[in-house]
Amino acid sequence: MADYTPSSIEPRWQRIWSERRCFEVPDLPERPRFYCLEMLPYPSGRIHMGHVRNYAIGDVMARFKVMRGFDVMHPMGWDSFGLPAENAAIQRGMHPKEWTESNITDMRGQLVRMGFAYGWSRELATHRPEYYRWNQWFFIQMFRRGLAYRSLRRVNWCPECATVLANEQVEAGVCWRCGTVVTQKELEQWFLRITRYAQELLDDLETMTGWPERVVTMQRNWIGRSEGAFVDFPVEGGAPLRVFTTRIDTIFGATFLALSPDHPVARDVMAGSSQATDVERFLQEHRNAPVGEKLSAEREKAGVFSGRYAVNPFTGSRIPIWIANFVLMEYGTGAIMGVPAHDDRDFEFATLYRLPIARVIATGDGTDPPLPFTTDEGRTIESGRFSGLPRGRARQAMIGWAEAHDFGQGSVQFRLKDWGISRQRYWGTPIPMIHCPACGVVPVAESDLPVLLPEDVLLTGKGGSPLQTSPTFAKVSCPTCGVAARRETDTMDTFMDSSWYFYRYLDPANTTAPYRPELARAWFPIDLYIGGITHAILHLMYARFFSMVMRDLGLGAPGEPVARLVCQGMVLKGGAAMSKSKGNVVAPDDMIEKYGADVTRLFVLFAAPPEKDLEWSESGIDGLHRFARRVWRIVDAHAAAVAGSPMCARPSGAAALELRRKAHQTLTRVTDDIDRRLHLNTAIAAVMELVNALYAFAPAEEGAEAMSGRPDEDRAVLGESLEILAVCLAPFAPHLASEAWELLGRKDLLATHKWPEADPAMLATATVTVVVQVNGKVRGRVEVPQGADEGSVLDAVRSDARLRGTVFPDGGGRIARTVYVPDKLLNVVIAA
């Protein structure tokens, strides 16, 4: 008997799958299609257990659908632009491209060794010009449609390194590299107008039933739609101030206005007033506050009186204008009306600075709750002609009044902001724009794409955009008028790269278009997309946005690219995410060496359902190793004895019939668990049960000799059951399953073998066990023919000596009623 040696089995099958191109699909599907996608990795150097889990889940689905006869698009690629490559370059003097390409080679090898069924001919890497030229092309299309524009934006700035910092590079308010306190600076940046699609992005969420509820909720909150109104407050001796409010029904209680310290008129409002020096000091302090602190809700409220007054357009009363640190410039208009009686924040602020508090909402039952009263109940009071209205009616009436008198209008605001894509980084897609002194900002001619990332740059981690250090890159002549002009030296946010890559897989070699639209029409939407919950908001929002834009560009994209989304949980060790800094990393390569790829796959799939976090456990993986060896031994022991046995659909022996039932029931369970429920852990549990049943029927230790003395039908059923075992295992442990298939004498490839249908006759049993309850408590069980009616079950209960006394205490006189669920349960209710 040979040992189970994954180190010799696995590479052989990997070679066969690759040589026979088992997982390559035609550009246009010829059979029913299934697009199975996993989030592409950043090529950091090594795959980790999180990747293994993510890709193992996708691989089960892809392999299963291949066997079910689908044309399965199951591609893999590399999200290969990004900061780590640049840092590696700075630290080790290696070019980012060299570092990235070498990592890709290593990681591809690791994925192959895991036995994942990718169509590698479609592999892409986003740092390659043949890919990123289409980022540039999309950018230009968006620019032409007004979807890309320039604007000032505050960025994190390290004065020591003289460089822009990404949010991740700001640690507790200081520069990650040199520890200097990070300040803010305004720079001209490129933006994509995702807000144009805000309403559609929100509306579609209602229909996205294939997405996890929590992701839908997160996206809805992120879009953050609120209905309200703009109101202009006249300012004494100045231009009116516009505020946004969702609570215009409380406007009669507005006792102050508050401006964000970042509001463009904050400085002007107080010019010449007696408060000028106080305001100046306040603004100065605000500007110097560390970035992290500035946005925190726990921050103490603070403000300063501007010295000016505005007029409430509804009441005509004079109210002070304050500048307050809790007012955000980024939302609404950067100015608010303060209604302390009906807003927690305004209340806190008014209390702090002793501003008046005026109740204008009452419940009308004489038991008005204490202020601030912020719920949506009640009616207006002290609100002039609008008094006595329910909140909703008051809002309508007041907006109408403001519109009629031309000092306000109803409006919808979104929390979602336009997407700033400029990065002052090297390792990204160059933004294909040219700054011409005569024509302004113009796009590079499409025939000149791609704008190649220059090689002759200095990477120091200091200073502005690295592309500026190239002696040749920025010098260009204007594509419109020909005069000397300057090339844009910023690069794109790498989220651009990952927003549409799943379309490029369809047509990765296309040199004249990002892809052929008819291919998108044939393959989209993606049937199953699997990835980490960390991308629930940004990546998936951008991907949806891009898909809408691509649809509107006539590229055959559906508005929503992903039909079903699965977010797998994290892989933990010792209760914490595996990370280098914690030193709790388990390397997939070590696991392959120790247990093999199949066992590693089985473990990550068995230990927890896909959506839950998975706690790594060494003894847990031992259990799966044992299981794999059990499978191996039972196949190895009986393969010779069962080879060539004809099928036996209706064995006469009880044990053989029982085994055949078990095999076909397992097939049904596994099929349903994978296809409908995506409960991969219970699918594996079902296969384990089948293996246990096989051992009970024909222990491996007795081997071929014992089987040779058994009836033909035993050998036939054993052979069939072993084949079903191989089939059921094929998506999870494909190498072991393929090897078993071959041992059993099958000449075709299991990976592309047709997934069988269970024999319906084996799914039903002649008799069923019906649970007998008294008043809902289990009192026993009876065996009855399947489909038996209530009377027969009661007869069975009466003929059971033990049950009779419990169920019919005085011959049945006190039975109030019975509840019968056919083939399942009989509940006898006995009156007290």
Partner RNA sequence: GCGAAAGUGGCGGAACUGGCAGACGCGCCGGACUUAGGAUCCGGUGGGGCAACCCAUGGGGGUUCGAAUCCCCCCUUUCGCACCA
Q: Which of residues 218-237 bind RNA (CB under 7 A)?
A: 218, 221-222, 224, 226, 228
Check: CB of residue 66 under 8 Å from CB of residue 117: yes
Name 132's Cβ contacts closer than 8 Å, sequence gap at least 6.
Answer: 81, 126, 429, 450, 453, 497
Eight-state DSSP code of residue 75: -
- Residue from 91, 472, 581, 619 that binds RNA (CB under 7 A)? 619
Stretch that binds RNA, among 65-73, 119-127, 195-203, 688-696 (CB under 7 A): 688-696
- Residue from 677, 704, 763, 787 that binds RNA (CB under 7 A)? 677
CB 631, min distance to RNA, A: 10
DSSP codes, 335-383: EEEE-GGG-HHHHHHHHHHT------EE-SSS-PPPSS--SS-SEE-S-
Cβ atoms within 10 A of the Cβ of 400, count? Answer: 12
624 binds RNA (CB under 7 A): yes
Nearer to RNA, 75 or 332 (CB): 332
Rounded CA separation 590/597 (Å): 10
What is the per-residue binding string for RNA in 197-216, x denoting contact by CB under 7 A?
Answer: ----------------xx--
Distance between the two ends of the chain, CA-based, in angstroms? 66
Check: CB of residue 233 under 8 Å from CB of residue 240: yes
How many chain residues bind RNA (CB under 7 A)?
89
| Strand stretches in 93-206, DSSP E | 124-125, 148-158, 163-165, 170-171, 174-175, 183-192
CB 602, min distance to RNA, A: 10
827 binds RNA (CB under 7 A): yes
Cβ atoms within 10 A of the Cβ of 288, count? Answer: 10
CB 129, min distance to RNA, A: 33
Nearer to RNA, 221 or 579 (CB): 221
598 binds RNA (CB under 7 A): no
CB 455, min distance to RNA, A: 36
CB 143, min distance to RNA, A: 27
CB 516, min distance to RNA, A: 37
CB 298, min distance to RNA, A: 6
Name 204's Cβ contacts closer than 8 Å, sequence gap at least 6.
Answer: 544, 559, 560
246 binds RNA (CB under 7 A): yes
- Residue from 376, 622, 757, 789 that binds RNA (CB under 7 A)? 622
- Residue from 27, 130, 507, 672 that binds RNA (CB under 7 A)? 672
Check: CB of residue 778 under 8 Å from CB of residue 769: no
CB 538, min distance to RNA, A: 8
Nearer to RNA, 72 or 740 (CB): 740
Sheet holding 484-487, edge to edge: 440-443, 433-436, 484-487, 475-477
Nearer to RNA, 613 or 712 (CB): 613
Nearer to RNA, 7 or 692 (CB): 692
Eight-state DSSP code of residue 447: G
CB 198, min distance to RNA, A: 12
CB 348, min distance to RNA, A: 7
825 binds RNA (CB under 7 A): yes
327 binds RNA (CB under 7 A): yes
Check: CB of residue 286 under 8 Å from CB of residue 272: no
824 binds RNA (CB under 7 A): yes
Check: CB of residue 615 under 8 Å from CB of residue 74: no
Nearer to RNA, 195 or 246 (CB): 246
Nearer to RNA, 448 or 702 (CB): 702
Kindly report the length of the chain: 832
Only one residue has tokens 């097939």, namely 667
Cβ atoms within 10 A of the Cβ of 689, count? Answer: 14
Nearer to RNA, 535 or 735 (CB): 535
Phi and psi at 82, nearest 5°, equal 150, 170
CB 331, min distance to RNA, A: 4
Check: CB of residue 335 under 8 Å from CB of residue 263: yes
- Residue from 202, 553, 685, 706 that binds RNA (CB under 7 A)? 685
Phi and psi at 532, nearest 5°, equal -75, 150
CB 346, min distance to RNA, A: 7
Check: CB of residue 389 under 8 Å from CB of residue 404: no
What is the per-residue binding string for RNA in 47-86, x denoting contact by CB under 7 A?
Answer: ----------------------------------------
330 binds RNA (CB under 7 A): yes
Question: Taking CA 518 as the corner, what is the angle to CA 512 and CA 521, rounded to the nearest 5 degrees?
Answer: 130
Site for RNA in 554-593 (CB under 7 A): none
Which of 154, 63, 60 has the alpha carbon at shortest distance from 752?
63
Site for RNA in 285-324 (CB under 7 A): 295-299, 301
Cβ atoms within 10 A of the Cβ of 344, count? Answer: 10
CB 182, min distance to RNA, A: 18
Rounded CA separation 684/318 (Å): 73
What is the per-residue binding string for RNA in 247-266, x denoting contact by CB under 7 A?
Answer: x------------x------
Nearer to RNA, 279 or 621 (CB): 621
Site for RNA in 763-792 (CB under 7 A): 769, 771, 773, 775-779, 781
Rounded CA separation 815/828 (Å): 7
Nearer to RNA, 396 or 752 (CB): 396
| Three-class DSSP category at 446 | helix
What are the tokens at 36? 């199975």
Check: CB of residue 660 under 8 Å from CB of residue 651: yes
Q: Measured in whole angstroms, how far is the alpha carbon of residue 381 from the centre of its chain?
A: 47
Count Cα neighbours of 145 within 13 Å in the Cβ-side half-sphere: 15
Stretch that binds RNA, among 40-48, 145-153, 240-248, 645-653 (CB under 7 A): 240-248
- Residue from 12, 415, 650, 754 that binds RNA (CB under 7 A)? 415
Site for RNA in 700-729 (CB under 7 A): 700-701
371 binds RNA (CB under 7 A): no
Check: CB of residue 712 under 8 Å from CB of residue 720: no
Only one residue has tokens 């369970």, namely 669
Stretch that binds RNA, among 58-66, 155-163, 452-460, 602-610 (CB under 7 A): 602-610
Nearer to RNA, 29 or 224 (CB): 224
CB 418, min distance to RNA, A: 13
377 binds RNA (CB under 7 A): no
CB 603, min distance to RNA, A: 9
What is the per-residue binding string for RNA in 521-560, x denoting contact by CB under 7 A?
Answer: ------------x---x-----------------------
Q: How much of the chain is in helix, strand and coil states, percent to nearest 5?
A: 40, 20, 40
Nearer to RNA, 230 or 501 (CB): 230
- Residue from 507, 689, 790, 800 that binds RNA (CB under 7 A)? 689
196 binds RNA (CB under 7 A): no
- Residue from 15, 612, 754, 814 that binds RNA (CB under 7 A)? 612
Bond prior to 450 in cis (omega within 30° of 0): yes
Nearer to RNA, 490 or 673 (CB): 673
**Residue 128 identity (one-letter amino acid):** R
Helix ranges (DSSP H) in 673-800:
680-697, 703-708, 712-729, 734-743, 790-798
